[in-house]
Amino acid sequence: MNQRVGIEALAVAVPERFLSLEDLAIARGVEPAKFTAGLGGREMAVADPGEDSVALAATAVAKLLKSYAIDPNRVGMLVVGTETGVDHSKAVASYVQGLLGLPRAMRTYDTQHACYGGTAALMAASDWIAAGHAHGKAAIVVCADIARYGLRTAGEPTQGAGAVALLVSDKPDLFELDRGICGMASSHVFDFWRPLGSREAVVDGHYSINCYLEALGDAYAGYRKLALEREIVRHSEQLPSEQLSRIAYHVPFCKMAKKAHLHLRKCELKARLGRELTAEEQTAEDRAAAIAFETQVAPTLALAARIGNTYTGSLYLGLASLLHTQGASLAGKRIGMFSYGSGNSSEFFSGVVGAHASAAIAKAELDQLLASRRRVTMEEYEQVMEMNAATPPQAQPRPGTFRFVGVTDHRRRYVAG
């Protein structure tokens, strides 16, 4: 069945506060260039306990429905990919369905596998549509997370928070998926995890980078094989990866995308030559890779540099950055996507930018979203980080947003602005 499936609309929600990474570096006695040039960021979102994964997810869905004038009756499935849910049993999706008053006749659930959970949700939604089981309906996929490592940890400058809501349908105005052309790699590793009851992730930082790169090499090899067979890329002087106009990677911190792209090229060159590069070839490759990174990957990093890690949402913030800054010139062009979830599970897939993607993404008002945030001092950041997760500050939510306001009889309560 040759069914078109992909992302029709996209909206983003972020916390009200952000911290400058330069301020963080100075306070921690670190050279600011380590966080800006070394890790590649500028700012990170700071979520207070009222801005939990449910509140961010519901806010993103409210924006999606309003900005794109989507009739909720079109929606037959709601899946939330998250690794920072609020209950061991009740799905974030069920809160979102209730808060938004979405139709009763729908499938709702959460998907979890660290940062891969959002992609798992996207694949489930697109398979549902492609299989013909949606009967003309669309799915909402939400990627919502709070990336939290804690004060004075190595991971502290790589925190962040946010939610990305996607309308997945048979009218992929933004991004049509290359269905069935994907490569997967999974293995049981302890690179990053969060034991039950812990607010902060446990991470073996440098090992997690290696796990990410190994998974990328294997997932890309699987994708490349299928992409060559299906002739969406070809054997030629250009590497297959160079035939993808852009590549968005999962971005735990912006520098990771650069490491990823260099590694992907190294894997491709090794596969082509059947051996390692000589010193001379490596020098030429260093130059080519730097240019390739600037062209193919750097445009995906605009939002990550301002928001930080959003775990499940990170890859889709990369796609949003790209469509926002280059959507018009990329119409009809193919984009590679790499999703990585620690633990681990990963997938490389691709899709094609829609003809009117630029006009469609403008509805997400991404510049206004960033401009509406408030920069906090280190003192306020530390106060927010030390707040009790169960007793959020009582602040009036802004119009169109939701906040968690407390627990009564074991029931979490939310209010809308």
Q: Which chain residues interact with ligand CAA by CB under 6 A?
A: 31, 33-34, 37-39, 115, 154-155, 158, 191-192, 203, 205-206, 208-209, 212, 250, 252-253, 255-256, 309, 311, 340, 342
Q: Give catalytic status of residue 235 as yes or no.
A: no
> What ranges in 293-356 are assigned the alpha helix state H?
302-307, 314-326
Scan for tokens 């995308």, then name that residue: 257
Under DSSP, the state recorded for 294 is: I
Which candidate in 113, 250, 261, 324 is catalytic?
Answer: 250
Under DSSP, the state recorded for 115 is: B
| Distance, CA of 413 to CA of 417 (rounded, Å) | 14
What's the CA dihedral at 34, 207, 45, 83 to 10 degrees?
Answer: 180
Query: In angstroms, what is the minimal distance from the CB of 364 to ligand CAA?
Result: 23
| Distance, CA of 98 to CA of 58 (rounded, Å) | 9
The two beta strands, 175-186 and 345-353, are: antiparallel
Q: Which residue's CB is nearer to ligand CAA, number 15 or number 155?
A: 155
Q: Give catalytic status of residue 115 as yes or no.
A: yes
Three-class secondary structure of residue 40 per DSSP? coil
Q: Which residue's CB is nearer to ligand CAA, number 15 or number 392?
A: 15
Which candidate in 16, 43, 51, 83 is catalytic?
Answer: 83
Q: Which of 343, 338, 341, 347 is nearest to 318 (CA)?
A: 338
Q: Which residue's CB is nearer to ligand CAA, number 130 or number 385?
A: 385
Q: Which residue's CB is nearer to ligand CAA, number 38 or number 406?
A: 38
| Distance, CA of 57 to CA of 401 (rounded, Å) | 10
Is 298 buried (19+), middle (13-18) or exposed (0-12) by CB count in 10 A?
Answer: middle
Query: In angstroms, what is the minimal distance from the CB of 203 to ligand CAA?
Result: 5
Q: Give catalytic status of residue 83 as yes or no.
A: yes
Query: In angstroms, what is the minimal distance from the CB of 39 to ligand CAA?
Result: 6
Query: In angstroms, what is the minimal distance from the CB of 36 to ligand CAA?
Result: 8
Q: Which residue is nearest to ligand CAA (CB)?
A: 38
- The gap from C-alpha 87 to its chain's centroid, in whole angstroms, comes to 22
Q: Which residue's CB is nearer to ligand CAA, number 110 or number 176?
A: 110
Under DSSP, the state recorded for 35 is: I
Query: In angstroms, what is the minimal distance from the CB of 249 to ligand CAA?
Result: 9
Which candidate in 16, 43, 115, 143 is catalytic?
Answer: 115
Active site residues: 83, 115, 250
